[in-house]
Amino acid sequence: MFMRIVNLSFQLILSLLLIGLLIYFLTGYDSAFEADKLCHSYLYSYGDQSSNYDCDHDIETHQWILYEKQDITQKAKVVKKFRYKFL
């Protein structure tokens, strides 16, 4: 009985790990360059308002972030994130 519980727990943990890895590798962009290009493509699609928006690279989370600039007393508003695979 104890071994059955251990076996089921191990299978559950392994299944969750595999699902997480599949989601990670199927949803991110292939490279930082690709994410950068897409971020700047979205940036230029705003046209004459593009001076209010900018793209920035976040090294810790491996993503490019398109954000709307605010005045110095407010936080910038994140418009879209472009996560890329680093492995």
Is residue 1 pLDDT above 90, yes or no?
A: no
Q: What was the pLDDT predicted at 50?
A: 64
For residue 66, give its domain range: 2-83
Distance CA 77, CA 16 (A): 33
pLDDT in tens, 74-87: 898 999 999 998 76
Please give the distance of CA 16 from its chain centroid, rounded to a whole number. 20
Q: What was the pLDDT predicted at 86?
A: 77
pTM of the shown model:
0.70
Q: What was the pLDDT predicted at 46?
A: 78
Distance CA 9, CA 2 (A): 11
Contact 84, 34 (CB under 8 A): yes
Q: What was the pLDDT predicted at 51?
A: 80
Total domain count for the chain?
1
Is residue 13 pLDDT above 90, yes or no?
A: yes
